[in-house]
Each structure stands twice: as C-alpha cells, then as structure tokens.
C-alpha cells in the first residue's frame, strides 16, 4: 500500500536528504520542494524524486508531508500563512515534523491542523546524518494515537527505532531533553580538551584515560578524535546546537526547575557564534575557546 502514498519532503538538508534517499529505496513515491542546497535536491531527483517549486504546491499534491527544518522561523514559514502547508493541505493530510522544535508551538500547530482535518505528528530524530542515510535513525514520536498509527508505516520506512512519548508536543519535549544532555556533555569536553591543550597535556593520552574511566561516552568518542586531528567536517552546526539549547532552557525554565547547566552550555555555544563559527561544525566550539585561551589544536 505504501507505494501509493504521495510523500512530500520539505527540508532536504544534512538530515532530510538521508530521509528522502531511504524512503525512495523502500519504494515510496517522493516529491521534494525547491531548496537552496541544489546538490541534495538533484541527488534525490536522480534517485526518482519529483520536485515542486513551493510548499503550497507540495501540500496540495501530497498525502503525507515530512518536514525537517533548521529553525523556528522556518517552522512558522512552512506551516503557517497563505503559502503554508496547513492552509493549503486537504483534509486527510498527514504531517510528520522531524524538526527539533518548540513543543508549545507544536501543540498550537497540531490544534490548527486538526480544525482542517489534518493530522500532525512530532517525530524528531535521534542521531546524525549518517544514520538517516543508512536508515538506522531513531525517532521519538508524539501525537494523537490515530495520527501516530497513520504515520507508523512511513516512519518505519526510514527509521530503525521508534519511541512513542505521548500526546502532541511530547516528542519534541523528549528531543530537547536528549539534546540538552548531549550538548552539555559536549560542552565540558570542549572545555577540558582546550585546557589540556593549553597546559601541554598529550590529548591522545587524555582521550585514552577518559575512555577507560567513568568519563567515557559516545560524545567523547566523537569529539576527541576531531580535536586531536583538528578536523571539523560539518554534521551539526553551532547555530543549530545553540537553537536547541535556547529552546531547551526556555521549556525547562518554564517548568520551575533551575536550569543551571543548560544555561552555562548555552553561553558557551553562543560565544562560538559570536566569534563567527555559527555555520561551522559544532566541534568548532573548542576552536573558539582555544582562540580566546591563546592556544590551538592540531599542534603537538
């Protein structure tokens, strides 16, 4: 049955491109909307995707729309307004939002969509571009039960693991909590490895020692080799990480719980932004700290 579904993809960036490629390999019919990254669009077209020039046109021609957007401004632009997918989608449309987004905004959009007979599921991604490309990504899924069931076939078409979190907005809440842990863990690694570099500690030895102790983590395995080699291939931008921490601290702060570590991490990432690293890979946070501290990576 899934081969009859008309799936539209909005946001064929680092993560979205892999979603589209995996769905095409699974036999789904896919269309994409014009994107500034023509390389990704052309790659998906070569694999069998069709292209529409606007979100308005894509919404009118789709049974399912998957969004994978870089910012809250993009979320509002794509979902709302005269060219948005809610106003231009027909009753029965299913929207799967894989963006890391504000759960309050998600609930508001879900309510607006429901008035038009459109279902919205929040389904943010846990992992990186390589995992979407391989079809091994995990997803946390929030929404009404009927919407989740309607989305299951498509979600299983590009994800390995699904974690169902509850009602609308809960998927985005869990994603923010997850990213807060990941980015805060990363923040102390950027700091300590920069301090080590400045003090003349051998970074390979530091990495091995941490890996043999309770300090070991997936983030250590990702960050330490990048800093030791001073290589920063882009997989997750400083701007995106900062956006996630801004959302987390706002949501967590509204709960009344002190958000001390989240605020500290946000300050560190904003510092990297201020020094011009916003569009570069998130490991450039350490480069920013090194610049201020009078040291640099890649030197023995």
Question: How high is the pLDDT of residue 300?
Answer: 54
- Look up the CATH architecture of domain 173-293: Orthogonal Bundle (1.10)
HSE, CB side, 13 Å, CA atoms: give it for residue 293: 22
First to last CA, the chain: 59
Q: Write the pLDDT tens digit of every residue in 3-58.
A: 689 999 999 998 999 999 999 999 999 999 987 778 999 999 999 999 999 999 99
Q: Write the pLDDT tens digit of every residue in 98-146.
A: 999 999 999 999 999 999 999 999 999 999 999 999 999 999 999 999 9
**pTM, whole model, 2 decimals?**
0.94
pLDDT band at residue 1 using 50, 70 and 90 as cut-offs: very low
Decide if 95 contacts 67 (C-beta within 8 A): yes
- Chain-wide mean pLDDT for the chain? 95
Assess whether pLDDT exceeds 90 at residue 81.
Answer: no
173-293 and 2-167 share a CATH fold: no
Spell out the alpha helix ranges (H) of the chain.
Answer: 16-25, 38-46, 55-60, 72-79, 85-88, 103-115, 129-134, 145-158, 170-199, 203-211, 218-229, 238-254, 260-272, 284-293
d(CA 113, CA 272): 37
Decide if 12 contacts 41 (C-beta within 8 A): yes
Question: How high is the pLDDT of residue 3?
Answer: 62
Q: What percent of the chain lies above the pLDDT cut of 90?
A: 95
Q: Rounded to whole angstroms, what are the CA distances from 238 to 19, 90, 198, 235, 252? A: 22, 37, 23, 10, 21
Q: Write the pLDDT tens digit of every residue in 197-238.
A: 999 999 999 999 999 999 999 999 999 999 999 999 999 999
d(CA 36, CA 200): 43
Domain 2-167 in CATH 1.10.1740.10? The answer is no
pLDDT band at residue 158 using 50, 70 and 90 as cut-offs: very high
Question: How high is the pLDDT of residue 2?
Answer: 61
279 Cβ partners below 8 Å, 6+ apart? 237, 238, 239
Domains in the chain: boundaries: 2-167, 173-293
């Amino acid at each position: 049955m899934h081969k009859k579904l008309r799936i539209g993809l909005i946001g064929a960036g680092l993560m979205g491109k892999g979603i589209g490629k995996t769905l095409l390999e699974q036999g789904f019919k896919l269309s994409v909307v014009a994107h500034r990254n023509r390389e990704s669009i052309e790659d998906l077209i070569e694999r069998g995707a069709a292209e529409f020039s606007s979100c308005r046109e894509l919404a009118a021609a789709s049974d399912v729309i998957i969004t994978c957007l870089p910012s809250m401004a993009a979320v509002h632009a794509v979902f709302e307004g005269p060219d948005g997918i809610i106003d231009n989608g027909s009753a029965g449309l299913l929207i799967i939002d894989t963006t890391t987004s504000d759960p309050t905004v998600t609930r508001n959009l879900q309510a607006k969509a429901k008035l038009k007979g459109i279902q919205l599921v929040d389904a943010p991604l846990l992992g990186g571009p390589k995992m979407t490309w391989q079809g091994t990504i995990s997803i946390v899924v929030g929404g009404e039960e009927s919407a989740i069931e309607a989305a299951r076939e498509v979600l299983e078409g590009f994800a390995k693991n699904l974690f169902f979190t509850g009602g609308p907005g809960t998927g985005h809440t869990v994603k923010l909590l997850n990213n807060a842990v990941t980015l805060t863990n990363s923040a102390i690694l950027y700091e300590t490895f920069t301090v080590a570099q400045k003090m003349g500690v051998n970074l390979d030895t530091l990495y091995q020692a941490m890996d043999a102790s309770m300090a070991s983590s997936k983030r250590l395995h990702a960050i330490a080799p990048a800093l030791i080699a001073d290589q920063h291939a882009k997989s997750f931008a400083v701007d995106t990480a900062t956006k996630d921490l801004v959302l987390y601290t706002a949501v967590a702060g509204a709960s009344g719980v002190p958000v001390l570590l989240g605020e500290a991490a946000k300050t560190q990432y904003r510092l990297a932004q201020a020094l011009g690293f916003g569009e570069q890979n998130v490991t450039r946070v350490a480069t920013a700290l090194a610049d201020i501290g009078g040291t640099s990576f890649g030197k023995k």
